[in-house]
């Protein structure tokens, strides 16, 4: 279908399901186990209700904000997803370019099918000529710490603005749909990455996820964060926090600048709670401990509507990550598709703000959403 006829974020998914290779579709769409968490990520948003305010002058609305100090067009970033080339021959650089034209931050994945430099080379010069579009780097800590040190320091040297350490994948979630498909690929850079990071051949007979993730260090612990802080001056954000206790611990850890409340898009531990459901208890705990201003809180998982973004911000998030929608838009319509996706999010968020009686992001408050049914099962 014509891109102009794509009206909402779900449309991209429906088209991707029909047009992607089986291998790409199952890798992108799958969740772990019975996919209960995957479904809950959506359902939780639907269980939150909006409480609009009326008679506010909403003739002019701005969605701009700052995330980790970077100016962005809206409180949405492209979250890191591995293996972009399964869906589009050019891979993640497509996302980089779209993020650049829309002034949105892309979190670049360790397991991208493009090299980090390739993605960084695709950045757009900033308006006013002061450097390049802001990007973040998502890190999987390698069992070989020297490899990690090299990658992190390279990302910093090349101007990445934040280091997002994924902490919810010490073991790989069982994504059975993906495991049933034999992963055969001939993309040479993926091949190279495998030997770069592992020095050994990996088992390709158990799905894409298993084929690429064997280097991730399952020994990584809180005590390693001081080492990480010692090799970089980038703001460090822990991606994959799932309870108040860990959020408070993160906020008390030196050099931790933020957390992403996330269950990895329902791909890791099934029947864990949705990020949006965890967010209120995380904010309450940070507040009670006097730590709310110490860290920036992000949330991801199931964000598909402008109202979802508003709900996350009302409950305390500074910004939200989107994963699968970016893969589906990229795979079906390339850069124009991702740009349209971001435009849809922006239009929906503006429309939502207007009807909520809010003209700028800082006016979004917790008493604008009703969470009475959020914990219901």
- Site residues (vs ligand FNR, CB under 6 A): 27-28, 41, 79-82, 109, 111, 138, 166, 239, 262, 264-265, 267, 300-303, 321-324, 327
Shortest Å, Cβ 290 to ligand FNR: 29
Shortest Å, Cβ 182 to ligand FNR: 17
**Which C-beta is closer to ligand FNR: that of 208 or that of 374?**
208
For residue 272, give both structure tokens: 């864990």
**Which C-beta is closer to ligand FNR: that of 72 or that of 163?**
163
CA angle 17, 19, 23 (to 5 degrees): 70
Question: Which residues are the active-site residues?
Answer: 140, 168, 264
Shortest Å, Cβ 147 to ligand FNR: 16
What is the C-alpha separation between 64 and 69, in angstroms, rounded?
12
Phi, psi of 168 (to 5 degrees): -105, 20
User: CB under 8 Å to 345, separation ≥6 — which residues?
Assistant: 9, 74, 76, 306, 309, 322
What is the C-alpha separation between 264 and 167, in angstroms, rounded?
10
**Which C-beta is closer to ligand FNR: that of 77 or that of 358?**
77
Q: Which residue is nearest to ligand FNR (CB)?
A: 323
Shortest Å, Cβ 139 to ligand FNR: 8
What is the C-alpha separation between 266 and 190, in angstroms, rounded?
24
Shortest Å, Cβ 29 to ligand FNR: 8
User: CB under 8 Å to 136, separation ≥6 — which residues?
Assistant: 68, 77, 105, 106, 107, 108, 160, 161, 162, 163, 164, 237
For residue 329, give both structure tokens: 């838009």
**Which C-beta is closer to ligand FNR: that of 38 or that of 72?**
38
Tell me whether strands 65-67 and 70-72 are parallel, antiparallel or unpaired.
antiparallel
**Which C-beta is closer to ligand FNR: that of 72 or that of 320?**
320
Are the C-beta atoms of 163 and 237 separated by less than 8 Å? yes
């Amino acid at each position: 279908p014509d891109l102009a006829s794509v009206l909402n974020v779900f449309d991209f998914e429906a088209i991707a399901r029909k047009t992607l290779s089986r291998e790409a579709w199952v890798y992108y769409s799958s969740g772990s186990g019975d996919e209960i968490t995957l479904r809950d990520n959506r359902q939780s948003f639907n269980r939150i209700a909006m409480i609009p305010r009326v008679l506010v002058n909403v003739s002019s609305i701005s969605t701009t904000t700052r995330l980790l100090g970077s100016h962005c067009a809206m409180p949405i970033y492209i979250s890191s997803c591995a293996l972009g080339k399964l869906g589009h021959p050019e891979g993640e650089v497509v996302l980089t370019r779209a993020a650049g034209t829309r002034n949105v931050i892309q979190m670049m994945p360790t397991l991208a099918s493009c090299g980090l430099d390739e993605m960084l080379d695709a950045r757009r010069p900033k308006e006013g000529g002061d450097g390049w579009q802001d990007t973040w780097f998502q890190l999987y800590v390698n069992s070989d710490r020297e490899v990690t040190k090299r990658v992190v320091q390279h990302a910093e040297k090349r101007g990445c603005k934040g280091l997002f350490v994924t902490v919810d994948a010490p073991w790989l979630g069982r994504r059975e749909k993906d495991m049933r498909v034999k992963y055969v690929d001939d993309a040479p850079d993926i091949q190279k990455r495998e030997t770069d990071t592992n020095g050994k051949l990996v088992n390709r007979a158990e799905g894409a996820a298993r084929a690429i993730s064997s280097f991730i260090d399952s020994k990584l612990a809180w005590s390693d964060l001081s080492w990480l802080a010692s090799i970089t001056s980038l703001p460090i954000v822990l991606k994959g926090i799932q309870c108040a206790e860990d959020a408070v611990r993160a906020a008390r850890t030196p050099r931790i600048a933020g957390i992403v409340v996330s269950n990895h898009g329902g791909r890791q531990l099934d029947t864990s709670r949705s990020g949006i459901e965890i967010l209120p208890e995380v904010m309450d705990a940070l507040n009670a401990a006097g730590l709310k201003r110490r860290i920036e809180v992000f949330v991801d998982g199931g964000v598909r509507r402008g109202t979802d973004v508003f709900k996350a911000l009302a409950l305390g998030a500074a910004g939200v990550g989107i994963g699968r929608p970016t893969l589906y838009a990229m795979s079906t319509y390339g850069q124009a598709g991702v740009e349209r996706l971001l435009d849809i999010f922006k239009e929906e968020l503006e429309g939502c703000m207007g009807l909520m009686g809010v003209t700028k992001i800082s006016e979004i408050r917790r008493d604008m959403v009703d969470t009475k049914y959020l914990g219901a099962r």
